[in-house]
Structure 1
């Protein structure tokens, strides 16, 4: 058989002697491929060939999406050809800046790896790589990364990377004078952009309606969209004008119900994670996912929409005084609900069982839920990786409260619990054995590999775990009713796709995201003492269960129920105001 050998240096058995060579023969077909890949080639040609490779190897989500959009094959095949040429031209123009003879191999490999990873996640979870998704990826913690890893990912990425790795490590790039390289790179860039511009002009009648009616397609052009989104997420904070922090605490004060002689208030605000309203039994879901809440006298609102489709987008928005529209167009940053409550005199403590508060808790006391746990508590509530179930946030609460000086506790305490909730794709990890009411579960991170029933079982069990945590939170608050007037409000940050339209997880651009990523649960419990203190009619509040609310209502509703007066308060946005015996006209 025709073979070629490669030289592998081996250490000499004699100290100080030169290394020997072992000749390892390559089989004939591999030898021929290796000879072809290791031939001499200019950096500019490498860039062009790499761009063509991306069309074939890393754009399958785009081709599948074009086929799903429908129409005659002749129509979407024409769109595929046009988009393929645009991807090649755009990638070539982008990579032309890297077409140098030295030091670029690993840059090209990094681009290939980015494209391969992006394709894997787009294929597996039907997400798109917009700047918001790139920002979410960059803020993902180690536990969330571990949930996404698996042999499926290694295979999916590896099959794309094997040829670029082999080729880019073997290809010989001849030296070229710097001036000549600059000229050739500029020429390559200009020609690529010119071809792309001419194609867009010629095909605008087809492209314009396609991209306008399907805006997600622009974030599926791989690797252009992936590199653009990653670049925006990294560069934008560096070049953007440093935002001024606008104070919101001026004029904040505790209302009349905080007068001396009354009990201090202890209120728990639970920031849920990935909770879908339509999978809560309280909202009519046909599975009993809320046995604990159903047994307690809770208030439930079934028609609530989130500010965003990811934690990074929703959490800062829901605590903002601005509302979704003004928050997204703001020129400066603003202090949040927590700053105003603190300025009024109440104590605030953020307890986190997630990947951080996204800046919301930066100016108030905050702790990670696992801090200070005993060995027994860790064994009971946490797994080997250190990830803990949400019930861990209720541990050591008496000690955390006692750490607040008594004179400050007398002004009231707002506790904010940030859940791990139903964060995917490892839904099965989000529930304990006692919460696994529905079996069998999906236990893989590749959700499309599970049957629909297994996926529903795993997700619904995570909702049961949230129900268990909320029930336990209410029970703990009841134990504090001798000292405090207590209450709780739960509101999820966003929803989740569970295979509808082939989509999984969350984080799609808000304008194209399905309603299941935006329709969120909101539940409250008030102690009799707090309801009486605030003159709230529970019967009236239950009558508002179908009223349309959004995350925009949270800021004003929390100021209302906490009886914190502020110039930023709006009674028309306070969900409690219409059911309060106190005069709504009394501006806070």
Structure 2
């Protein structure tokens, strides 16, 4: 919490902009030399205008994760942020100042004069900085200690710092050999039945807007009749897809997660596939599995093919049902895991995430500059995305139910979102804030479980009694191993959300090495 300004003197508060201005001039005096002067200043101004727009309109901060998100964002997603308001903003605060810098005359100096003028500028800055720091050191130290997140708003140098770190970690880190966490996983289905598991990976869905979790607006009208079980207290691993998706499928937990480590070892899909299960990833999220599906079969939906579900840029999530149906009609293994990666509620163009004939809540926000919509319009649009997600989930359940009835196959579905979303609460929009001070809207995610009537190894009444327990993405690895009946040395029964709810006499995954746990 930011300390009240009443705790500081007026002189200290007035010194802050003077201090920052002097510091920026000091830094630029080293970088902007000779022919680099104008390019450096123009780049600084233009980049700062973009950051200023993101901070002032969406509450976004450009830390390491946000830089990673920006680098990994494809052109279609990036263009979704483009609107007249953004263009006008950038012209006013980016283009016009840059033109003034470009047209400003530069007086040619000799090398000696250039060095002397540079030293004079540096000295002048120090004459301002040193007395301010000396006079108000205690105040600056207190503010920095109590509000460490303020550094993320220093424009544009936090972005430059984060960019350097991203490049260093991504391109200049030492090579790591791929690590096999378990070389001999196996399938251990005590019922002997053929099993199909569908994992639906949601996008940008926040738990607060699910009526299954108590939300007043009926956003889950389709699945509420399907006997689903909604876990209402689930925390995400990150606040953006680039972190959450690889983290939730890795053996690492949120606190120990490191992208390079996760990329260089087996994830849960690798282990399930190695055990003998047929694993298929079907993607409707711009192919952004973030490396998780790199070693399993995958299908990426192409929005460029225009049809009733795709408009040339995006596909709504009903497009996932066709390849899912094809796979269910052509099962080749005794055990199958299908992952469906949704477009879900991805912003800011929420209005493009559902067909216009499935738009129950109006008036809504049919534009990308969502900060200029009313709060109710924005919430209505977002709720429409949740209703549509719920509709697609109900269709998946219907396909699995039909499969169970016609072919005597055990089926189950687990839905979980990668992260949540801010909808203007406290002036914050979208997602991606540093986890340490991200609001619950970005970290509280929905998780829904459904199992067919033929599922013999999980007690639904027991599961329903546990849906309020506090869990997180850290539980997905072991829960997925349990659902798919995979026996692995990596399995930890205490982290499997469903492990303590077996049908009497059925034990799954609990008799292995150091992970033994009496769950009866």
Aligned residue in 1 for 2:452 = 527
Aligned residue in 1 for 2:346 = 423
Q: 2:201 aligns with which of 271, 279, 286?
A: 271
Aligned residue in 2 for 1:450 = 373
Paired with 1:236 and 1:191, the residues of 2 have a C-alpha distance of: 37
Paired with 2:433 and 2:11, the residues of 1 have a C-alpha distance of: 26
Aligned residue in 2 for 1:59 = none
Matches within 5 A, 1:363-382: 363-370=295-302, 378-382=306-310
Aligned residue in 2 for 1:87 = 20
Matches within 5 A, 1:64-463: 70-72=4-6, 75=8, 78=11, 80-176=13-109, 192=125, 196=129, 199-257=132-190, 262-263=193-194, 265-328=195-258, 333-355=264-286, 356-370=288-302, 378-383=306-311, 385-400=312-327, 409-463=332-386
**Taking structure 1 as reference, are residues 509 and 337 closer, same or farther at Cα in structure 2, changes over 3 Å only?**
same
Paired with 2:123 and 2:276, the residues of 1 have a C-alpha distance of: 62
Assess if the C-alpha contact under 8 Å between 2:61 and 2:152 holds in 1.
Answer: yes
**Taking structure 1 as reference, are residues 268 and 77 closer, same or farther at Cα in structure 2, changes over 3 Å only?**
farther
CA drift at 1:347? 1.7
Assess if the C-alpha contact under 8 Å between 2:328 and 2:403 holds in 1.
Answer: no
Assess if the C-alpha contact under 8 Å between 2:251 and 2:477 holds in 1.
Answer: yes
For the residue of structure 1 that corresponds to 2:256, the secondary structure is helix
| Unpaired stretches in structure 1, ≥5 consecutive residues | 1-64
CA drift at 1:106? 3.0
Aligned residue in 2 for 1:52 = none
Paired with 1:470 and 1:442, the residues of 2 have a C-alpha distance of: 24
For the residue of structure 2 that corresponds to 1:511, the secondary structure is helix
Assess if the C-alpha contact under 8 Å between 1:370 and 1:392 holds in 2.
Answer: no
Assess if the C-alpha contact under 8 Å between 2:198 and 2:337 holds in 1.
Answer: yes
Assess if the C-alpha contact under 8 Å between 2:202 and 2:343 holds in 1.
Answer: yes
Q: 1:563 aligns with which of 485, 493, 501?
A: 485
CA drift at 1:191? 6.9
Assess if the C-alpha contact under 8 Å between 2:223 and 2:390 holds in 1.
Answer: yes
| Unpaired stretches in structure 2, ≥5 consecutive residues | 516-520
Assess if the C-alpha contact under 8 Å between 1:353 and 1:418 holds in 2.
Answer: yes
**Taking structure 1 as reference, are residues 400 and 542 closer, same or farther at Cα in structure 2, changes over 3 Å only?**
closer
Assess if the C-alpha contact under 8 Å between 1:99 and 1:185 holds in 2.
Answer: no
TM-score normalised according to structure 2 size = 0.90
Assess if the C-alpha contact under 8 Å between 2:8 and 2:139 holds in 1.
Answer: no
Paired with 1:353 and 1:198, the residues of 2 have a C-alpha distance of: 57
For the residue of structure 2 that corresponds to 1:123, the secondary structure is helix
Q: CA RMSD in A?
A: 2.7
Q: Which of 416-425 and 549-558 deviates more? A: 416-425
**Taking structure 1 as reference, are residues 312 and 77 closer, same or farther at Cα in structure 2, changes over 3 Å only?**
farther
Q: Which of 86-95 and 540-549 deviates more? A: 86-95
> Is residue 549 from structure 1 mapped to residue 471 from structure 2 by the alignment?
yes
Paired with 1:182 and 1:319, the residues of 2 have a C-alpha distance of: 55
Q: Which of 337-346 and 88-97 deviates more? A: 88-97
> Is residue 510 from structure 1 mapped to residue 441 from structure 2 by the alignment?
no
**Cα distance per residue 1:29-83 (max 9 Å; x no partner):** xxxxxxxxxxxxxxxxxxxxxxxxxxxxxxxxxxxx98xx7534x9486555443
For the residue of structure 1 that corresponds to 2:169, the secondary structure is helix
CA drift at 1:85? 3.3
For the residue of structure 1 that corresponds to 2:436, the secondary structure is coil
**Taking structure 1 as reference, are residues 209 and 369 closer, same or farther at Cα in structure 2, changes over 3 Å only?**
same
Paired with 2:149 and 2:367, the residues of 1 have a C-alpha distance of: 27
Aligned residue in 1 for 2:423 = 498
TM-score normalised according to structure 1 size = 0.80
**Taking structure 1 as reference, are residues 83 and 536 closer, same or farther at Cα in structure 2, changes over 3 Å only?**
same
For the residue of structure 1 that corresponds to 2:348, the secondary structure is coil
Relative contact order, higher structure (CA 8 A, sep 6+): 2
Assess if the C-alpha contact under 8 Å between 1:351 and 1:418 holds in 2.
Answer: yes
CA drift at 1:305? 0.7
**Taking structure 1 as reference, are residues 82 and 121 closer, same or farther at Cα in structure 2, changes over 3 Å only?**
same
For the residue of structure 2 that corresponds to 1:124, the secondary structure is helix
CA drift at 1:512? 0.5
CA drift at 1:370? 2.4
Show structure 1 runs of 4+ deviating over 6 A.
none
Question: How many pairs does the alignment contain?
Answer: 506
Paired with 1:222 and 1:155, the residues of 2 have a C-alpha distance of: 20
Q: Which of 250-259 and 272-281 deviates more? A: 250-259
CA drift at 1:128? 1.4
CA drift at 1:181? 5.0
Assess if the C-alpha contact under 8 Å between 2:246 and 2:259 holds in 1.
Answer: no
**Cα distance per residue 1:175-227 (max 9 Å; x no partner):** 44567656765775687578646644542321233233333311111122222
Paired with 2:316 and 2:279, the residues of 1 have a C-alpha distance of: 22
**Cα distance per residue 1:384-415 (max 9 Å; x no partner):** x4211011111233445678xx7xx2232211
Assess if the C-alpha contact under 8 Å between 2:281 and 2:296 holds in 1.
Answer: yes
CA drift at 1:502? 1.4
